[in-house]
């Protein structure tokens, strides 16, 4: 620029120079400077961005189903996008190759969390695992959960809880069969999976309420609804004060107070009534660890409540939504339904109860679950991350403090990775030991990947397999008023997990185990 100014000054003292010559020289110099700057300024090598509007940026392009909208944008503009959401920036990754590079080369840089106001208020300023910042304390808390709460032996110890709650569900369905009526399978699945989680965590059932007071189920529903909402300050930090005026912050604090009161009462009740070793829930285990005082971090009251709330949120919706989608897909695929039922019934062999060892042999049922998780990952964006520092990905500069959304929904439906990617084909997982719940590569990531992958995978899978196996074993399932038309509406509704927009109603027909050997022979 100094060169350009010097030339302009000289030309101003030359009477024969014309204005057009001056402009031409200045423009030429500026073009050279701009080209040189772009070549040497890595901040101009940002990922592509769709066209945006003033002030709101790309917010209008998220739509009511962001995972689908962002997949469509990625299909058009590329597998890595930089969006402007209000005053904040977000990186959207929709490629298995890019995810693999992130995990193998830059996992630490991408291991922080991008937390909203709701997460900070409701989760004790993020003192737990899912939303805590990456660091030594987070590693110690995660280690505690993996080794003490979610290890294989602990998951097995909760088998009686799963058995009891599933038996209650099966009896309810038998009652509906006696009346010849259809059942709201969505509701039954939600109650059963929630009861399993609540009993394992708190020793309480999902709908428990005392003396007409608001049940914890109602409080959790309200919390989940609020948790999904962005405050104005989340997208426009300069307008942070608006959330106080609108009452958004006060509503969060009221819900937090209700949750905190419940958790405090549960912990105090557990302190008064210590259980024997064979009947301990997660509260008992944490209290026992607190008494030993041998942890690498302080397990105080708020940290304990935050961890319990983490387990509650992670263990409820994701299980029920996956089971719901599995039966919706099976109802639309009668041949697959028949094949998986034949496997389950052959392995159980007419017994009155499905045993854990039976589940280990149900390979095709596991394929059905994997295919369901592929098409309907519980959290399509996993939990958003935040870059701890600037990095280079595929030649693009990724700035520091950018929110990162990994679109597992888009990756799981990528036609470059999956044949007939939009179709429900469990057979694609048969004989493929390289693709499992515990991913080896990044093309199948329903439980996340890298350091921030879900530590409760084994707990969730145990419930998934047991509930699905029992529903397949004890009943045949028909679509009500089926006239050989397209069967189940597969429309989605966005939430913490993507659920069916319409409840799943199916008509159960009791299965008689004693007649199985005759029917299959």
For the residues of 460-499, what is the DSSP string, one character each? Answer: HHHHHHHHHHHHHHHEEEE-TT--SS--S---EE-SSS-E
**pLDDT > 80? residue 22:** no
Which segment of 263-277, 339-353, 423-437 scores lowest on mean pLDDT? 423-437
State the Cα–Cα distance between residues 74 and 50, nearest whole angstrom.
Answer: 9
Pick the CATH number of 59-520 from 3.40.50.2300, 3.20.20.150, 3.50.50.60, 1.10.630.10: 1.10.630.10
Q: Residue 404, Cα to own-chain centre: how many angstroms?
A: 14
In which band, very low, low, confident or very high, does the pLDDT at 445 lie, cut at 50, 70 and 90? very high
Nearest to 189 by CA among 504, 507, 517, 515: 504
Task: Supply angle C-alpha 106, 110, 113, rounded to 5.
Answer: 165
The rounded distance, in Å, linking the Cα atoms of 221 and 224 is 5
**Residue whose tokens read 């110690």:** 140
Query: Is residue 367 a known part of a binding site?
Result: no
At 1 the pLDDT is 45
Cβ–Cβ under 8 Å, residues 204 and 210: no
What confidence tier does 184 reach under pLDDT thresholds 50, 70, 90? very high
Give the confidence band of 495 by pLDDT, cuts at 50, 70, 90.
confident
Higher model confidence: residue 207 or residue 16? 207
Considering only residues 346 and 211, tell me which one the structure prediction assigns the higher pLDDT: 346
Closest CA to 450 of 103, 136, 112, 92: 103
3-state secondary structure of 102: helix
- Mean pLDDT in residue range 111-137: 93
Q: What is the pLDDT confidence band of residue 35, given thresholds at 50, 70 and 90?
A: low
**Rounded to two decimals, what is the model's pTM?**
0.87
Residue 468, pLDDT score: 98
Is the pLDDT at 79 greater than 90? The verdict is yes
Structure tokens at 154: 């602990």
Q: Are 472 and 365 in contact (CB under 8 A)?
A: yes
> 53-62, 219-228, 504-513 — which is least confidently predicted?
219-228
| 74 contacts 94 by C-beta, under 8 angstroms | yes
The predicted model gives 324-338 an average pLDDT of 96
Examine the pLDDT at 359 and tell me if it is beyond 50: yes
Extended beta strands in 327-373, E state: none
State mean pLDDT over 145-160.
Answer: 92
Exposure of 274 in the CB half-sphere (CA atoms within 13 A)? 8
What is the full DSSP assignment across 196-248?
Answer: HHHHHHTS--TT--STTPPPHHHHHHHHHHHHTPPPHHHH-GGGTTHHHHTTH
pLDDT the model gives residue 293: 81
Pairwise CA distance, residues 89 & 403, whole Å: 7
Please choose, from the candidates 316, 424, 338, 310, the residue with its C-alpha nearest in 3D space to the C-alpha of residue 373. 424
**Closest by Cα among 31, 106, 112, 98 to 408:** 98
Q: Is 26's pLDDT higher than 60?
A: no
Phi, psi of 432 (to 5 degrees): -105, 90
* Token pair recorded at residue 481: 């008023």
* Core vs surface per residue 306-344: b (16+ CB within 10 A) or e: bbbbbbbbbbbbbbbbbbbbbbbbbbbbeebbebbbebb
* H-assigned helices in 246-333: 248-272, 282-292, 301-331
User: With contact defined as beta carbons under 8 Å apart, do 89 and 82 qualify?
Assistant: yes
| Residues 203-246: tens digit of each pLDDT | 888 765 444 445 677 888 888 888 888 999 999 999 999 999 99
10 has pLDDT over 50? no
Share of the chain above pLDDT 70, in %: 85
Q: Which of 56 and 215 is assigned the larger pLDDT?
A: 56
Q: Please, are residues 354 and 346 in contact by the beta-carbon 8 Å criterion?
A: no
Residue 451 has pLDDT above 50, yes or no: yes
């Amino acid at each position: 620029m100094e060169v350009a100014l010097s030339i302009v000054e000289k030309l101003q003292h030359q009477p024969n120079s014309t204005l057009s010559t001056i402009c031409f020289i200045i423009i030429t110099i500026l073009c050279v400077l701009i080209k040189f700057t772009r070549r040497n300024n890595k901040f101009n090598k940002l990922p592509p961005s769709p066209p945006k509007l003033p002030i709101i940026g790309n917010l209008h392009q998220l739509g009511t189903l962001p995972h689908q909208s962002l997949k469509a944008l990625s299909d058009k503009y590329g597998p890595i996008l930089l969006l402007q959401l209000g005053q904040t920036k977000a990186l959207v990754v929709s490629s298995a190759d890019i995810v693999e590079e992130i995990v193998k080369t830059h996992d630490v840089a991408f291991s922080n969390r991008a937390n909203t106001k709701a997460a900070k208020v409701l989760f004790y300023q993020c003192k737990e695992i899912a939303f805590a910042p990456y660091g030594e304390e987070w590693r110690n808390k995660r280690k505690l959960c993996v080794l003490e709460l979610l290890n294989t032996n602990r998951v097995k110890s909760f088998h009686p809880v799963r058995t009891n709650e599933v038996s209650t569900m099966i009896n309810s369905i038998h009652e509906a069969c006696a009346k010849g009526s259809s059942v709201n399978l969505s509701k039954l699945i939600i109650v059963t999976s929630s009861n399993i989680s609540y009993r394992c965590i708190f020793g309480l059932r999902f709908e428990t309420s005392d003396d007409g007071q608001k049940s914890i189920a109602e409080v959790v529903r309200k919390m989940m609804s609020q948790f999904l909402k962005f405050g104005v300050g989340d997208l426009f930090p300069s307008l942070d004060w608006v959330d106080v005026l609108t009452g958004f912050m006060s509503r969060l604090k009221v819900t937090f107070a209700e949750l905190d009161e419940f958790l405090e009462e549960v912990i105090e009740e557990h302190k008064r009534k210590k259980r024997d070793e064979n009947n301990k829930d997660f509260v008992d285990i944490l209290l026992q660890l607190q008494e030993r005082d041998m942890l690498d971090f302080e397990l105080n009251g708020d940290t304990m409540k935050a961890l319990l709330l983490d387990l509650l949120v992670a263990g409820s919706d994701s299980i029920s939504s996956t089971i719901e989608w599995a039966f919706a897909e099976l109802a639309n695929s009668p041949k697959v339904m028949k094949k998986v039922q034949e496997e389950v019934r052959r392995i159980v062999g007419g017994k009155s109860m499905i045993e854990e060892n039976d589940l280990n042999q149900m390979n095709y049922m596991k394929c059905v679950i994997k295919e369901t998780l592929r098409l309907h990952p519980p959290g399509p964006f996993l939990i958003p991350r935040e870059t701890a520092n600037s990095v280079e990905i595929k030649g693009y500069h990724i700035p520091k403090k950018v929110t990162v959304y990994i679109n597992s929904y888009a990756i799981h439906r990528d036609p470059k990775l999956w044949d007939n990617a939009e179709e429900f084909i469990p057979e694609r997982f048969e004989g493929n030991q390289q693709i499992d719940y515990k991913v080896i590569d990044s093309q199948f990531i329903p439980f996340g990947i890298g350091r921030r992958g879900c530590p409760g995978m084994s707990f969730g899978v145990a419930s998934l397999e047991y509930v699905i196996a029992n529903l397949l074993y004890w009943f045949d399932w028909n679509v009500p008023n089926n006239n050989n038309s397209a069967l189940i509406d597969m429309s989605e509704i966005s939430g913490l997990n993507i659920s069916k927009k319409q409840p799943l109603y199916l008509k159960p027909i009791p299965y008689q185990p004693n007649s199985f050997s005759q029917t299959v022979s």
